Amino acid sequence: MNSVLHAEEDPIPLSALQHAVYCLRQAALIHIEKLWAENHFTAEGDVLHAVADKGGTRKTRGARRVLSLPLASRRLNLTGVADLVEFYPTPQGEVSYPVEYKRGKPKLHRADEVQLCAQALCLEEMTGIAVPEGALFYAQTKRRVVVPFDDTLRALTEHVAAELSAVFDARKTPAPTTHKSRCRACSLIELCRPETFARPVRKWRDRMLDLVLGTE
Amino acid sequence: MKKLLNTVYVTTEGSALKKDGENLVADVDGAERARVPLHMLASVVAFGPILISPALIGACAERGITISLMDRAGRFQARIEGPVTGNVLLRRAQYKAADQAEDIVRSIVMGKIANQRAVIRRALRDYGTEMEVPARTELEHAADRMAAILRRVQLADDTIDRLRGSEGEAANLYFGVFDHLIRSPDAELRWTCRSRRPPLDAMNALLSFLYTLLTHDCRSACETAGLDPAVGFLHRDRPGRPSLALDLMEELRAPLADRLALSLVNRRQIRAGDFRHMDSGAVLLSDEGRRTVLTAWQERKKEERQHPFLQEKAPFGLVPWLQAQMLARHLRGDIDAYPPWFWT
Ligand code: SF4
């Protein structure tokens, strides 16, 4: 289904991929149901992006640096903006090198890498030149972590994009993640209410009625 | 738990509300009387002639703070809202469900009757022994009949019209014995029957005012959850009527508004002198009475209760929002029914 052109469909925002890796339901709640919990972390993220968002081109160490570069992939129906893309001159033409700013520190799951890899897939489609690696810059450690776009990461990214695209098509919010620890760290937990999902309400209602009528 | 944000009620005629930095400021006769940071605000409710500056209106709209304008008597006039937060998929599900609403209506009616009955049971428990025997007997009888109606609502595969009928029957029983719940010695505070537009006696004026406040909160809750407040299930659609807000309100009237009215009167915080009698026969709360009620209402909203379905503590003021959220999750297919809020 990846090869189909989604001319009629709204493109999927690149930022939805990182949410989808973490939890497909989270991605649906944010990007389809438009629920969003402002919290401390998202505010911090906004400040970070305000710095990266200044836009324009600067030259450093032989590379052309472009801030806030719009990206898209027709094949994967993705669209978004890269924080920073560096272009290095090579005999084959300019090779692009995406750099994404992240709050906090490197994580155990691969959400950030998938989002970055999706940028690389967009860049490859747009420039026609292979993008072998990129980097994540973490605010808390102030370090660049180099991310090679190997086959495993590419396959994972394509898989997540396909899952997300199915959710967008169905417009149906999927079940909560089975990783309970992710829910505990999720800023959407009070809007998502994972503990109530598929709870039998009718049975509960009958029990409550027995309770209020029985305890006299 | 979501934060319970403040509602600012402005009742002083001639007040001017303006934005000063990130604050709402209320001036009366050129002197600053109140200052509230915008980030702590959920809504502003202005009664009667109050000036609101364009800058404040803009700032509120941008931050999702709603402004409601009421006339002096507390009747709704207009509402200023920012860009719609609504979720079109949720609204579609809501409209579709409105054509097949039996089970949602069943939940609402169950919650409503159970909570009205709980108000009666609570009164019997608290001072049943001090009551005259006929009054006590009537209250017990009403509670028993309401229990029977509840069983019928629970079991029968009823049409919406029959569910509406059961709701009306229970309401008649409840308001038929309501006078026995009033312990104030003021003769003017006796209950006869429900009168709405306009309220024709003091208790009705008090209830109507509290219902206005509750409607405002339920309407905001619908908007916040992304639902369309105008498309209801129990209440039929009618242009200009916030039917869904009224639906949400049904379960909450008795425990939030009626109980508060009764305790204000029974503790003599509100007395016969707190009402104004108009030439038309209409009765309204005086300014002083309104202030007493607003203070009590805001205190009431801070009280915490166990939410029976979510099984966590929540302030009363958040219950409309939680119920709207549960309704939204039901409409989006997460759960098989709408869980009513039982006051226990
Ligand atoms: S609370 Fe859990 S299920 Fe819900 S969005 Fe967050 S991670 Fe996903």
Whether B338 and A201 have beta carbons less than 8 Å apart is answered as yes
pLDDT at A40: 37
Identify the top-confidence range among A185-189, B50-54, B73-77: B50-54
Q: Exposed/middle/buried for B261, CB within 10 Å: 0-12, 13-18, 19+? A: buried
Chain B residues in contact with A173 by the CB 8 A cut-off are 332-334
Note the pLDDT of residue B110. Answer: 94
Give the whole-angstrom CA distance, residue B77 versus residue B56: 19
Q: What residue ranges do the domains of chain A occupy? A: 12-173, 175-216
Q: Does the annotation place B304 within a ligand binding site? A: no
- Give the rounded percent of residues in chain B with a pLDDT score beyond 70: 97
Please indicate whether, in this complex, the C-beta atoms of A171 and B89 are within 8 angstroms of each other.
Answer: yes
Percent residues over pLDDT 90 in chain A: 62
Q: What is the pLDDT of residues B113-157, one digit of tens each?
A: 999 999 999 999 988 788 888 888 999 999 999 999 999 898 867
d(CA B315, CA B308): 13
B241-279 confidence digits (pLDDT tens)? 888 999 999 999 999 999 999 999 999 888 888 888 887
Residue A5 pLDDT > 50: no
Rounded CA-CA distance A17/B66 in Å is 34
Residue pair A64/A86 in contact (Cβ under 8 Å)? The answer is: yes
Pick the CATH number of A12-173 from 3.40.640.10, 3.90.320.10, 2.60.120.380, 3.60.15.10: 3.90.320.10
Q: Give A59 or A181, the one with higher predicted confidence.
A: A181
Q: Which residues contact B113 (CB under 8 A, 6 or more apart)?
A: B146, B149, B150, B153, B166, B167, B170
Q: Is B250 annotated as a binding residue?
A: yes
Contacts of A191 in chain B (CB under 8 A): 325
Higher pLDDT, A45 or A96: A96
Which chain A residues are within 8 Å of B325, Cβ to Cβ?
A: 191, 193
The radius of gyration of chain A from alpha carbons, rounded to an integer in Å, stands at 21
Distance in angstroms (rounded) separating the CA atoms of residues A155 and A149:
10
Q: What is the dihedral of CA A18, A24, A29, A34, to 10 degrees?
A: 40
Q: Given this model, what pLDDT does residue A44 score?
A: 47
Q: Out of A172, A195, A201, whose CB is closest to B339?
A: A201
- Residue B325's Cβ-count burial label (10 Å; 0-12, 13-18, 19+) is buried
pLDDT in tens, B146-187: 999 999 898 867 788 888 889 999 999 999 999 899 887 777
Contact B259, B240 (CB under 8 A): no
Give residue A177 CA to ligand 1 midpoint distance, Å: 6
* Cα-to-centroid distance, A83 and ligand 1 (Å): 26
Name all residues whose Cβ lies below 6 A of ligand 1: A 23, 25-26, 29, 176-177, 182-183, 186, 188-189, 192, 194
Question: What tokens does A211 get?
Answer: 């309770």
First to last CA, chain A: 61
Report whether A94 contacts A88 (CB < 8 A).
yes
Q: Which of B310, B334, B342 sits opposite A212 (nearest CB)?
A: B342
Q: Does the beta carbon of A212 lie under 8 angstroms from any beta carbon of chain B?
A: yes
Question: Quick one: average pLDDT of A47-72?
Answer: 69
**Lookup: tokens for B212:** 């206005």
Tell me the domain boundaries of chain B: 6-80, 88-332
Ligand 1 atom nearest to CA at A197: 3
B88-332 topology per CATH: Four Helix Bundle (Hemerythrin (Met), subunit A) (1.20.120)
Q: What is the pLDDT of residues A110-119, one digit of tens each?
A: 999 999 999 9
Instruction: Reply yes or no on whether the pLDDT at A50 is more than 70.
Output: no
* Residue nearest atom 3 in ligand 1 by C-alpha distance: A176
Tokens 């472009």: give the residue: A66
Known binding residue B235? Answer is: yes
d(CA B31, CA B54): 20
**Ligand 1 atom with minimal separation from the A182 CA:** 7
What is the best residue among A42, A167, A183, A187 to mutate for testing ligand 1's pocket, by most ligand atoms within 8 Å of CB? A183
* CB-based contact, B38 to chain A, within 8 Å: no
| Residues present in chain B in total | 344
Q: What is the pTM of this model?
A: 0.81
Q: Are A71 and A80 in contact (CB under 8 A)?
A: yes
How far is the CA of A2 from the CAs of A74, A160, A171, B208, B215, in angstroms? 10, 11, 18, 59, 49
Pick the CATH number of B6-80 from 3.100.10.20, 1.10.10.10, 2.60.260.20, 3.40.1160.10: 3.100.10.20
